[in-house]
Amino acid sequence: MTDLQDVPGNYTDTNSDTKDFTFNHTMIRVKDPKASIDFYTRIMGMKLVRKNNFPNAKFSLYFLGTFNEEEAKDLPKDNDDRRGWVLNQKSILELTHNWGTENDANFAYHDGNKEPCGFGHIAFKVPDVHKACERFEKLGVTFQKKPSDGTMKSIAFIKDPDGYWIEIV
């Protein structure tokens, strides 16, 4: 096993300037918000916690997270008040929809896994990968890799409506 202290570029000294930094969210662009919201709420169990429209710039932002009832009980009723609440969460997924893309049959976003490669995937932890994959199959979800494929039998990769890969661990 690699000693993490020996990984080139790994800064291991405590830095008081960054001690309160917390990873908050990842943003991906989506072609059709209806399809993406359905996928992430119905298929992946996320909760939509905030939506903002920017009419002058012709785009909308949707913020989703995985919250149990106890965690979501503090969600403010007012959308403007939710901004601060969302900024205090961890692991938020922000979907950005540029208006009109849903009406262009030829429009597609680059998923990052074709040349030139870049962004790779997001990941969801599930209690049982095989049971989750059985559910995904019943729901018609597209697989990139099933647990039975390849040598890594404990993971799967599915695709969202825009073709972004989602690792299931």
The predicted-structure confidence for 56-84, as pLDDT tens digits, reads as follows 999 999 999 998 888 878 888 888 888 88
**Is the Cβ–Cβ distance between 164 and 32 less than 8 Å?**
no
Mean pLDDT value across residues 41-65: 96
d(CA 156, CA 7): 28
Look up residue 52 and give its two tokens. 């903002």
Q: Of residues 5 and 161, which shows the higher confidence score?
A: 161
The predicted-structure confidence for 109-158, as pLDDT tens digits, reads as follows 999 999 999 999 999 999 999 999 999 999 999 999 999 998 998 999 99
Look at residue 92 and tell me whether its pLDDT is greater than 80.
Answer: yes
pLDDT at site 22: 84
The pTM assigned to this predicted structure is 0.89
**Which member of 71, 94, 134, 167 is catalytic?**
167
**Domains of the chain with bracketed CATH:** 23-68+80-109 (3.10.180.10), 120-169 (3.10.180.10)
Pick from 48, 43, 28: which is nearest to 98 by CA? 28
Known catalytic residue: 134? no
pLDDT at site 72: 79
